[in-house]
Amino acid sequence: MMLSAHFSLEELTASEVAVRAGIGNAPPPELMSNLVHLAESLELVRTALVNNAVHVTSGYRSPRLNQMVGGSKHSMHMQGLAADILCPAFGPPLEVCRAIARSKVPADEIIHEFGQWCHVAFPPPGQLARHELLTIRDAAIGAELGLRTV
């Protein structure tokens, strides 16, 4: 089911980890509006990345899945408001993060994670975006301020 022009519910809930573990990752009905908001926000990201295809490697996570993948306790992935993305046609993850940060996309937080992907989260509908920019290079150290090379 398409949630926006380029993003489907299937893409925003797919998880190889969940499949391998045999656990479901279907979002509860009350989070569907957040997932539509996420898809619409990712359209803005796609535009900011000059309409290159954006691949979502992790979108919605059930609490159990979030725990399995080592996500933070308050991860916005569990609210259906965050996505880990790649856009190889545009550039490496750090360039993707920087381009979104430079754009007018109302991102709540943009995190360059382990040099491998861009985590982008959006505020719940109706709330202001904080535009927080962070880098995680080492899970033990946690998030550092700014978008940095790792």
Please, which residue, 46 or 119, has the CB nearer to Zn ion?
119
Considering only 3, 46, 48, 84, the residue that binds Zn ion (CB under 5 A) is 84
Helix (H, G, I), strand (E, B) or coil at 58: strand
Binding part of the chain for Zn ion, among 8-16, 62-70, 82-90, 93-101 by CB under 5 A, reads 82-90
- CA–CA separation, 45 vs 47, rounded Å? 5
By CB under 5 A, tell whether 109 contacts Zn ion. Answer: no
Decide if residue 119 touches Zn ion (CB under 5 A): yes
Residue type, 45: V
- The contact pattern for Zn ion, residues 15-54, with x = CB under 5 A and - = no contact, is ----------------------------------------
Give the H or E element holding residue 103. Answer: none
Is 61 in contact with 78 (CB distance < 8 Å)?
yes
Q: Which residues pair with 85 in a beta bridge?
A: 56, 118
Q: Identify whether the C-beta of residue 75 lies closer than 8 Å to the C-beta of residue 61.
A: yes
Least separation in angstroms between CB 103 and Zn ion:
19
Q: CB-wise, 116 or 127, nearer to Zn ion? A: 116
Q: Which residues bind Zn ion (CB under 5 A)?
A: 84, 119
